[in-house]
A and B are shown apart, each in its own frame.
Chain A
């Protein structure tokens, strides 16, 4: 009877739930979920979730993409109502009819894609929907004052309440989201991958804020794919797999990584990168960029990628790396400099020319830049190549589906039915669709912008494997990532960017994480220093 689950039954982890070893956290239990089930047409998204959150703790939620984390958040936030099971909030059974009800009860959610209104001010966003008012008029002064208090409490008194949210950087927007949560007197704040939009140094600031919140007795549910973050900020961990709790209340600091990963995936995988081939694989020069410049973004960048080579660009958000990639691809027009593919100069500002020359790009923002969310998977996979399957302009859905099917099989896409809308896939699987798009056709150079953002450990390893195998077949790869270990582990050669300039270029083996981090941060230039 139980449809769904998509036929995956590699059960290694049917061990009993691990209970909290000792009272590492003193607070009372504020939230308890027992056997929560939520089904959607054809999918059992939650299939018996247990969760216990105490006041003043940071409770981490771990799970692969598609494990049910997002659905669980939405149940807690009042977006979905569970089909069965019990949600006890502060001692009383709770069923939130809508997000407002959850907010009023004191549960605030900060989504990965921040839900702020860009053209309203900081204060208006913080109090959106419950503006303090008198006789129907918003008390703007009062609202600004309270916003200023909350921002001070968050350690950011420098953000002006009147500033438009549009003009804030990503980290500032996140602060505004948290201010909104505090404006509701939230007792539980759910953070869905809050660090994904932040640069390295901003994460430390986020953690400081979280510690201050928990010190005030506020509980935090923290979702992240980065294990090192969970170790640093988390108190306890609950692991989900296929909509079930496979482990509850593990101590965040001393549970071995291997244990966590095996409970998430049902198999033991390390956070590993595929081996580099023994001999130098790189072939003829594929891409040559010379003196590429866009004022205010990057200046005088020269680089080359050879066939079969993976070149990584390390740099912080705002170092110009994404803009550089988009300019090489023709999505932005360079003000100076040339891009040559296989010796031929590409027309600047023309994506079509780049694609015809054999380039493909997986952009930074999957949903807004790469996918037709309502369209079937196969149409997203063939978005750049459907013309090749067509005869005289007539598309051939059968051949497209067959091709997409092979891509889905080789990338282990879940679910595998390529006629499902892409909307129903988890982040990691959506990324596979975007990368898979360029495996069709004759892509010779693949530009990857943050290919593993929001992708879980298991799917990451798969993606790394795919990228390495592409290179082994002679495809050149230019990779941008804000995770230094990813660049160092995957690339053959690394360029380090800071403030729009390449400050170091070296084979990946000659650099280590600390060196790159030093280079990436301003003021500590160590050019030519031994690695």
Chain B
């Protein structure tokens, strides 16, 4: 609200009938305070409240960890190391989830992300690609991801296929192509720079975590502070209104799937580095993890609403659960059942509890002012 001085062209039609009603100074002060409060969370207070709920869930999970393994949690250096393990675990899916969040807010769905990661991973580890060194491998992974995303987008926006169908077909086809290219073999990465991405630490924190942080930060800025993000919300929230307001909905749809594909390309490099190899079956079911994380994070499956921070918290909650089972020596089967339960519970909790909580909060605020 600080920059109240209008500049140049756009506003010239704005100052219509000259009489603007007097403004109550108290009102303005209140509005300013509101603006200050909300700068960090975009403009929707709802998203921020939901995210507090996710943080509370995370705290509960940590408390369960402390209660079940007090011996481990007594050791501060173990706690730090474990935290980094969780974040590292979250990093690859996290990057995919950022792209997925954009697609879902834009009113679509991308079931092909796991397959794109596999295809990009396999493509960048072929003998031919590896001969170009780390730069060539990174370039090819990103390009393959982007290109597959563009194809998805073109099929959906200009081919008028339903996103679910188009990306389902791509999921099958991309895995098939990955298997074809790799001849169903595991392709070992011999590039020390690429492999180093998974092992290098800066200031004691793994590089993978920095990559996740960078992608999340870029995604947040893109969604909340750019015209691209605004168009995404408009296209997902009401495509017809967006179209009639002059937004090129089709082009934007292509860009959204391209962005998702690009994120998959980044994830492919990270995953290849972690395994020091790539194969057609890698990143299996990542699409489900990413969609689940975005939904838990408060992204509306019908589009038009969602937050990057929520999606990040969704991913971290999942990897914390995985970690919880690992430190207690429990099986992955039990873990998957709990994950399924968590998805349902999280959505239920958001729908019931936090709606009434936020109503309670706003009502109290309304009556006290």
Contact = CB atoms under 8 A, between A and B. Distances in A.
Bind each other: yes
A26 interface: no
B245 A384 contact: yes
Nearest to B46: A374
Contact of B16 (A42, A356, A394, A411): A411
A395 B227 contact: yes
Interface in A275-314: none
A84 to B, nearest CB: 15
Contacts of A375: 233-234, 237
B13 interface: yes
Interface stretch (B59-67, B171-179, B359-367): B359-367
Nearest to B364: A41
Given A7-B24, A41-B366, A469 B16 contact: yes
Given A376-B43, A386-B230, A402-B4, A439 B13 contact: yes
Given A374-B304, A375-B233, A406-B20, A386 B227 contact: yes
Contact of A331 (B230, B244, B362): B244
A442 B8 CA distance: 12
Given A399-B3, A465-B17, A363 B244 contact: yes
Contacts of A412: 21
Given A406-B11, A469-B16, A383 B242 contact: yes
A411 B246 CA distance: 23
A372 B238 contact: yes
A1 interface: yes
B244 A390 contact: no
A440 B10 contact: yes
B331 to A, nearest CB: 42
Interface string B144-158: 000000000000000
Nearest to A398: B3
Among the interface residues B38, B228, B366, which one has the most CB atoms of the partner chain A within 10 A? B366
Given A3-B367, A393-B227, A372 B237 contact: yes
Contacts of B228: 393
Contact of B43 (A387, A397, A402, A403): A397
A395 B226 contact: yes
B184 interface: no
A73 B171 CA distance: 49
A461 to B, nearest CB: 12
A409 B22 CA distance: 10
Contact of A3 (B1, B43, B369): B369
Nearest to B224: A395
Contact of B17 (A396, A441, A469): A469
A269 B126 CA distance: 78
A375 B238 CA distance: 11
A409 B15 CA distance: 9
A103 interface: no
B2 interface: yes
A355 interface: yes
Contacts of A442: 9, 12-13
A3 B366 contact: yes
A453 interface: no
A475 B226 CA distance: 30
A329 interface: yes
Interface residues of A, number: 63
B244 A371 contact: no
B248 interface: yes
Interface string B285-319: 00000000000000000001100000000000000
Given A7-B24, A411-B16, A403 B244 contact: no
A442 B248 CA distance: 19
Contacts of B245: 355, 370, 383-384, 437
A496 to B, nearest CB: 26
B300 to A, nearest CB: 9
B240 A395 contact: no
Nearest to A371: B241
B225 interface: yes
Interface in A338-354: 351-352, 354
Nearest to A372: B237
Contacts of B10: 385, 388-389, 403, 440-441
Nearest to B242: A383
A181 interface: no
B31 interface: yes
Contacts of A372: 233-234, 237-238, 241, 304
Interface in A449-473: 465-466, 469-470, 473
Interface string A315-358: 00000000000000101000000000000000000011011100
Contact of B244 (A3, A329, A399, A440): A329
Contacts of B31: 417, 419
Contacts of A441: 10, 13
A417 B13 CA distance: 21
B366 A410 contact: no
B20 A410 contact: yes
A24 interface: no
A399 B6 contact: yes
B34 interface: yes
Contacts of A384: 245-247
A410 B230 CA distance: 25
A469 B15 CA distance: 11
A395 B367 contact: no
A155 interface: no
A386 B234 CA distance: 11
Among the interface residues B9, B11, B20, B229, which one has the most CB atoms of the partner chain A within 10 A? B11
A7 B26 CA distance: 12
Contact of A41 (B15, B304, B363): B363
A419 B12 contact: no
Interface of A: 1, 3-4, 7, 41-42, 329, 331, 351-352, 354-356, 361, 363, 368-376, 379, 383-390, 393-399, 401-403, 406-407, 409-412, 417, 419, 437, 439-443, 465-466, 469-470, 473, 475
10 contacts: A41-B363, A42-B362, A352-B246, A375-B237, A384-B245, A397-B43, A399-B7, A401-B1, A441-B10, A465-B17
Given A373-B237, A379-B43, 9 more contacts: A7-B27, A372-B234, A383-B247, A387-B227, A395-B226, A399-B6, A419-B35, A469-B16, A469-B17
- Please name the 9 residue pairs, one residue from A and one from B, whose CB atoms are nearest each other, closest first: A355-B246, A410-B16, A409-B20, A41-B362, A384-B245, A388-B10, A42-B366, A372-B237, A383-B245
Interface of B: 1-4, 6-7, 9-17, 20-21, 24, 27, 31, 34-35, 38, 43, 225-230, 233-234, 237-238, 240-248, 304-305, 359, 362-363, 365-367, 369
